Chain A
Amino acid sequence: MIAERLLVFSVGRELFALNLTEVCEVMEPQQSYPFAGAPPYYMGLINFHGNLTALLDFAQYLGAGSRPLPGKLLVIDTKLAHLALKVDAVGSIIDAQGITGATRSDDPLIEALLETPQGHLRLVRLETLLSSLEEDLRAAAPKSAPGGN
């Protein structure tokens, strides 16, 4: 079921949307600190109101390639995750009534392809994104290695 209100954002010339209730804040980019054992699309950790939050370069995660834009950070609701997505730009909030058509997507990350006055939107399935990130982290986990330097 599609949420009542969606937040529209862009990554690599594509428009995406998240359920508005899943996003708690849109921020300007801030300094992040790298951590070990993570795939390259993690930019590091940021401090979001005291919560240590993993910052994901969403364009790199999607394989869309980063654009030379300062971008924005979409912070996911802290009750759901400690995760922020760096995106190229954040658009408007749209009501579900504004959706003129919806089709299913073969991509498990995308809940639906939506037709709206703003254009075609890909509605991101957050739970699938989180599970997939967890799986990738398990695969990339540091492993013990014998021998010295």
Chain B
Amino acid sequence: MDMSQYKALFLSESREYLRSIAEQVVALEQSPAERGAIDALFRGAHSLKGMAASMEYGDVVVVAHSMEDLMARVRDGALPFGAGVADLLLEGVDLIDALLKDVEEERPSSVPTDGYPARLAAYVPPPEKKAKKTDEAPEVSSPAAEPAPAVESAQAAESVPTPSAETERAKESAPELGGTVRVKTELLDHLINLTGELVTNKQRLLSIGRDLASPALNDAVSETSKLLRALHDEVMKVRLMPFEAISDRFQRSVRAVAKKSGKEIHFELTGREIGLDRGVLEQLVDPLNHILRNAVDHGIEDGEERERAGKPARGLVKLSVSRDRDRIHITVRDDGRGMEPQAMIDAAVRKGLITPEEGELLSPRQALMLSCIPGFSTAKEVTDISGRGVGMDAVNAAIAKLGGTLGIESEPGQGTVITLKLPLTIAIIHALLVQCGPIKTAIPVNAVQRTVELSRRQIETVGKRQMFQLDDESIPLLSLNRVLGLPLGRFPDGILPLFVTEAKGRRVGMVVDRLLGQHELFVKRLGRPLDGVTGLAGGATLGDGEIVTILDISELL
């Protein structure tokens, strides 16, 4: 029987099982006594094995079978669920993931699985460490050592916030097929493209309707607009995927960094059900991973230092996702050592990134944003855990590319909060249209703090720079024409139109020839050879058919 037609379905379902297993493993590690979750994990491995057997993928069967056996020992009480078991199961998840990749690319299995079943079969937990006598409740997660099963005591139940809600959700997240249809992502992309084209066409019809002054046509276009808005909203909903589609990686990433750095971390995740556009979600994995790894590696102090500061030995890292109308807010909060604005300024001056005079002008918020300048790192030593500490500039650039913003708040000794504000979708954006010489171009409004019409009299020259005052802040002026290599504008009436944006933690005024107002644009990629050009984020068609490019200001500056 030709099974190839079922391959895509097998791969997609298997990956859902793997994601669910990984989530349950991490949740169980924090709450090892959750009987329901243990059963769900066993069932997950069993289902995966069954599906692989029906498709005759022997290697996947062997690995899943070993995982199932290991979980059977846990379920039957022969083995406590601890860090060692979690490690082996997560290794199995990685192995199967690699095997699935081979299946997908129709190549022979390149992953050796020989030793894995034997190691699982022979696994015995390390001897338990004698519990330290303390008034504190027993830790429910210990990255460095095998934790004992949770102690059933009223005191523990009161004093330790066990993440039972997390486990509940994890055990309920087994894939379900009832009432759903699997749709290829290309089809969803095509749907949003067609909807975007209709939005553009609606603008054309509106324009024609105005020219013809036909009430009947205007009514029809107005009705079409409403239907189109409803269609757009529905198509966008179809494209939304819950945050949990990527969240298991973060749980695992935090766990791995905590283990490697010998720190005790309690990781909390809220808002896993919040939906984001698939395109946004895919681009969030690396930036969020980097922020979380930084929080664990550099933010959270080691246990002794924390206790000296009067904090619990176990650090808290909290990832929260919420929705505010058409924006998604993602925050990463830690209760670590925090960041000291003056230390950031001193480091930036020392590295020659800013002058001491520039440093004096920075507000505390701007000082914290210095961490997003390429080459900036205040980490005392480079570690192989969170990289070289040079990634925050890449994180900031990636978020800006998605049309989002990154903000940092920090209280020395209390911790740091990094907030990402993102659009629900990257397909349709609001942008400021500007004229620069012969070129009309668009800047996403998230990159525009405000627009100003500046009189020449308000411009001061400081050294070689031209500056102006805004909200008691001295702001440098740049010409967007010059940045784009276009002829400089002339302003015979002495009024310079500009928009204020932020570059490298500082506000700058970008002078243009004319401000043309805000427009709703359907963003399109440019394809070869234009994609990848510095400063170009895409293009869009205006209502009259005119094509404009959309600039990525952070890349240009």
Bound pair: A and B? yes
Identify the stretch in A20-28, A79-87, A112-120 within 8 Å (CB) of chain B at 4 or more residues: A79-87
A52 located at the interface, meaning its Cβ lies under 8 Å from any Cβ of chain B in the complex:
yes
Specify which of A33, A34, A51, A138 is in contact with B533 (CB 8 Å cutoff).
A138
Closest to A76 in B: B528
Interface size class for chain B? 35 or more
Cβ–Cβ contact B485 & A142, under 8 A: yes
Q: Which residues of B contact A138 (CB under 8 A)?
A: 533-534
Query: What residues of A have a CB within 8 angstroms of the CB of B479 in the complex?
Result: 145, 147-149
Contacts of A46 in B (CB 8 A): 547
Check B408 for interface membership: any CB of A closer than 8 A.
no
**B144 CB–A CB distance under 8 Å:** no
Partner of A141, one of B438, B491, B533: B533
Whether a CB of chain B sits under 8 angstroms from the CB of A50 is yes
Question: Could you give, for residues 527-557 of chain B, a 1 whenever the CB lies within 8 Å of some chain A CB and a 0 otherwise?
Answer: 1111011111001110001111100000011
**B529, A37: Cβ atoms under 8 Å?**
no
Report A-chain residues with C-beta under 8 Å of the C-beta of B491.
149
A41-88: which residues lie under 8 A (CB-CB) from chain B? 44-47, 50-54, 78, 80-83
Q: In the bound complex, how far is the Cα of B528 from the Cα of A138, in angstroms?
A: 12
Residue ID in chain A nearest B536 by CB atoms: A37
* Known contacts A54-B530, A81-B528; is-contact A36 B485 (Cβ 8 Å): yes
How many Å from the CB of B521 to the closest CB on chain A?
Answer: 12
The residue that B197 contacts in the complex, of A36, A37, A50, A141, with Cβ under 8 A, is: A50
**B residues near A143, Cβ cutoff 8 Å:** 483, 485
Of residues 482 through 536 on chain B, the ones whose CB sits less than 8 Å from some CB of chain A are 482-486, 488-489, 491, 496, 511, 524, 526-530, 532-536
Contact B439 A137 (CB under 8 A): no
Q: Chain B's interface: helix, strand, loop or mixed, by majority?
A: mixed
Chain A CB within 8 A of B132 CB:
no
- Whether A36 pairs with B484 at a CB distance below 8 angstroms is yes
**A95 sits at the interface (CB 8 A):** no
Please indicate the chain B residues that have their CB under 8 angstroms from the CB of A33 in the complex: 440, 546-548
Compute how far the CA of A130 lies from the CA of B532 in the bound complex, rounded to whole angstroms. 13
Is B465 part of the binding interface, using a Cβ–Cβ cutoff of 8 Å?
yes
Contact B464 A36 (CB under 8 A): no
Assuming A35-B439, A50-B193, A50-B197, is B484 touching A142 (CB within 8 A)? yes
In the complex formed, the residue of B with least CB distance to A140 is B485
Residue of B nearest to A44 (CB): B547
B532 contacts which chain A residues (CB < 8 A)?
Answer: 134
Known: A52-B541, A142-B483. Contact between A130 and B496, CB under 8 A?
no
The answer on a CB contact under 8 Å between A145 and B534 is no
- A37, B535: Cβ atoms under 8 Å? yes
B37 within 8 A of partner (CB): no
List, in ascending order, chain A residues with CB within 8 A of B545's CB: 31, 47
A101 adjacent to chain B (CB < 8 Å): no
Tell me if A133 is interfacial: C-beta within 8 Å of chain B.
yes
Shortest CB-to-CB span from B228 to chain A, Å, is 16
Within 8 A of B (CB), among A91-149: 130, 133-134, 137-138, 140-149
Minimum C-beta distance from A86 to chain B (A): 15
CA gap between A130 and B529 in the complex, in Å: 6
Tell me, in angstroms, the Cα distance from A51 to B525 when the chains sit together.
8
Given contacts A34-B439, A35-B439, A36-B549, contact A146 B530 (CB under 8 A): no
Task: Specify which of A45, A50, A134, A144 is in contact with B478 (CB 8 Å cutoff).
Answer: A144
**A36 near B436 (CB under 8 angstroms)?**
yes
B370 beta carbon closer than 8 Å to chain A: no
Q: Which of B445-487 contact A (CB under 8 A)?
A: 459, 464-466, 476-479, 481-486
Could you tell me if B441 and A35 are in contact, using CB atoms closer than 8 angstroms?
Answer: yes
- B529, A137: Cβ atoms under 8 Å? yes
When distances are taken between beta carbons in the complex, the residues of chain B under 8 Å from A144 are 478, 483, 556-557
Q: A81-B527, A141-B533, A149-B496 are in contact. Are A37 and B484 (CB under 8 A)?
A: yes
Query: A-B pairs with the 4 shortest C-beta distances?
Result: A82-B527, A148-B466, A148-B477, A36-B484
Listed in ascending order, the chain A residues whose CB lies under 8 Å from chain B are: 31, 33-37, 44-47, 50-54, 78, 80-83, 130, 133-134, 137-138, 140-149
24 A/B residue pairs, CB under 8 Å, sorted by A: A33-B548, A34-B438, A35-B539, A36-B484, A37-B484, A44-B547, A45-B547, A52-B524, A52-B527, A54-B529, A81-B527, A81-B529, A133-B529, A138-B534, A141-B534, A142-B485, A143-B485, A144-B478, A144-B557, A145-B479, A146-B478, A147-B482, A149-B466, A149-B482
Mark B residues whose CB is within 8 Å of A. 193, 197, 436, 438-441, 459, 464-466, 476-479, 481-486, 488-489, 491, 496, 511, 524, 526-530, 532-536, 539-541, 545-549, 556-557
**A33-B548, A45-B539, A140-B485 given. 18 additional CB < 8 A pairs?**
A35-B539, A37-B533, A44-B547, A52-B527, A52-B547, A134-B528, A142-B484, A142-B535, A143-B485, A144-B556, A146-B478, A148-B465, A148-B466, A148-B478, A149-B477, A149-B481, A149-B491, A149-B511
